[in-house]
Structure 1
Amino acid sequence: MVQHATGTPAEWLKARKALLEREKQFSRLRDEIAEERRALPWVKVEKPYVFDTQAGKKTLGELFGKNSQLIIYHFMLAPGWEAGCSGCSFLADHFDSANQHIKHHDVTLMAVSRAPLGEIEAYKKRMGWQFDWASSNGSDFNYDFHVSFRKEDVEAGRATYNFAPASENPGEEAPGFSAFYRDENGDVFHTYSSYARGNEEVIGAYMLLDFAPKGRNETEIMDWMRRHDEYEDAPARKSA
């Protein structure tokens, strides 16, 4: 049984109002950080990256479609993996609902992984997702944006993640977001990247859990979470 302080309605209201002031400070700080994020200098992307998509091969500029802004989620799915990262899958479960809105606000949202397109499509079908997902297999894209790691780079101390030297054993893949802008001339600029816990504000399930009495109730990050078709009450997965 959870042991917690109790009080009168008046005591609760007093404490709640004090907390509200802190929440307002946090909201204002978040707005300030978002403004600073938008003020970062943009870097022109010179390398001609090519991706495999359901519509054929596309350059980075062509991934934008009709929009001038592109958000890419670096989804952890390497060639030969049986399934995508469970944490990335938890996060990606939030994309389709948000995409109903942001695609009408000059923003293209999609995932990119190093796995071949066929492996991506198989996992996407298993999860029932609708968002676009491209393969960067055969290009330097994941390595240049510091979400995939070559063994020789790790051993030589050249690998970085979250703007710092990567750990001794970072694994093949790591998660992240990268944002881009395409101007009227078709030039593409890298505007922002976020890694590690910097990604977690898009996880609406976490934001809801933060309202709950027990909060996230984790010993380690995401230790309770499963792919949505792996919970005990999930419908039986159909064989391919």
Structure 2
Amino acid sequence: MPEHRIGTQEEFEAAREELLAEEKKLTRRNDELARKRRELPWVPVEKDYSFETEGGTKSLADLFDGRSQLLVYHFMFGPPYEAGCPVCSSIADTLSPNAVHLKARDVTLICSSRAPVDKLLAYRERMGWRFDWVSTVGSDFHRDLGFHYTEEELGPFLEGDIPPTVRQMAEACGTDVLGYVTEGPGLSAYALSNGTVYRTYVSTARGLEPAMAYYGLLDRTPMGRHEDGEETHWLRRHDEYGKT
């Protein structure tokens, strides 16, 4: 544990009051951003996407499952993967128990990946998740949203120094670096109104952190995320902690 400033209870309470004022400002700012997010223009989805599911081939509209809103987490699990991305898996640990609460607010939550559906469902069983998971085999769904890359597009990255964390994650997924980074994570949102599907929101990278509850909790611990300088990522699948 690193050395840290030690103070009295009175000093803590005074500093905490100052911080609380800043936290309240951030909360109000987040409320404002949420409002602006909802006010983004809706874009009709004109492409005829199809998905392989437990119940057979379905359209994007079918995935709403009788509700008017749909959230799709674009899970990094490409065709050559033997297991899902550990980071995406940590996110799915948060998504799974929340799916039932979202349904209560007219929102269907699913995951989408490019691997065959049988492979996805077997991994879901291993992880103990309960959300619906669809495969985009034969569809440009991830590509059109910017979550699938070609080898040509990745050329500059692949020709440079590959970060150790990328090699670590590729190995954990049972594929090579190219196979791993061909996929990208993301979140997209949709509305179904009068038979038309509209895309309403898309995010990736740190925009996914609301689904990474552990980071919000770590941000409130004495040492925070404590990731600076680490050459490998600390995250593991939830059934792999403690393994050598």
Q: Distance in 2 between matches of 1:222 and 1:143?
A: 28
Higher RCO (CA < 8 A, seq sep 6+) = 2
Q: Distance in 1 between matches of 2:231 and 2:104?
A: 33
Q: Distance in 2 between matches of 1:44 and 1:221?
A: 43
Task: Give the deviation of 1:117 after TM superposition.
Answer: 0.4
Task: Give the deviation of 1:151 after TM superposition.
Answer: 2.4
Alignment correspondent of 2:205:
196
| Matched ranges for 1:43-62 at <5 A | 43-62=43-62
Aligned-pair identity (%): 48
Alignment correspondent of 2:136:
136
Cα pair 1:87 1:222 within 8 Å, conserved: no
Change (3 A) 1:222 1:12: farther
Equivalenced residue count is 221
Q: Distance in 2 between matches of 1:24 and 1:222?
A: 35
| Matched ranges for 1:144-183 at <5 A | 144-154=144-154, 171-183=181-193
Q: Which amino acid aligns with 1:20?
A: L
The reply to whether residue 230 of structure 1 matches residue 240 of structure 2 is yes
Q: Distance in 2 between matches of 1:42 and 1:68?
A: 14
Alignment correspondent of 1:218:
227
TM value normalised by structure 2: 0.86
Q: Distance in 2 between matches of 1:126 and 1:32?
A: 39
Task: Give the deviation of 1:215 after TM superposition.
Answer: 1.2
Alignment correspondent of 2:112:
112
Secondary structure at the residue paired with 1:137? coil
Task: Give the deviation of 1:153 after TM superposition.
Answer: 4.8
The reply to whether residue 94 of structure 1 matches residue 94 of structure 2 is yes
TM value normalised by structure 1: 0.87
Task: Give the deviation of 1:233 after TM superposition.
Answer: 6.9
Q: Distance in 2 between matches of 1:222 and 1:181?
A: 39
**Please, which runs of 5 or more residues in structure 1 have no aligned partner?**
157-168, 235-240
Task: Give the deviation of 1:95 after TM superposition.
Answer: 1.2
Q: Which amino acid aligns with 1:200?
A: E
Q: Distance in 2 between matches of 1:137 and 1:152?
A: 21
Cα pair 1:89 1:227 within 8 Å, conserved: yes
Task: Give the deviation of 1:198 after TM superposition.
Answer: 0.6
Alignment correspondent of 2:37:
37
Q: Distance in 2 between matches of 1:6 and 1:107?
A: 47
Q: Which amino acid aligns with 2:226?
A: N
Alignment correspondent of 1:187:
196
Alignment correspondent of 1:67:
67
Cα pair 1:150 1:172 within 8 Å, conserved: yes
Q: Distance in 2 between matches of 1:105 and 1:64?
A: 13
Secondary structure at the residue paired with 1:21? helix
Q: Distance in 2 between matches of 1:142 and 1:96?
A: 21
Change (3 A) 1:221 1:203: farther
Alignment correspondent of 1:8:
8
Q: Cα deviations across residues 55-93 of structure 1 (Å, max 9, x unaligned)?
A: 111000000011100000000000021111110001110
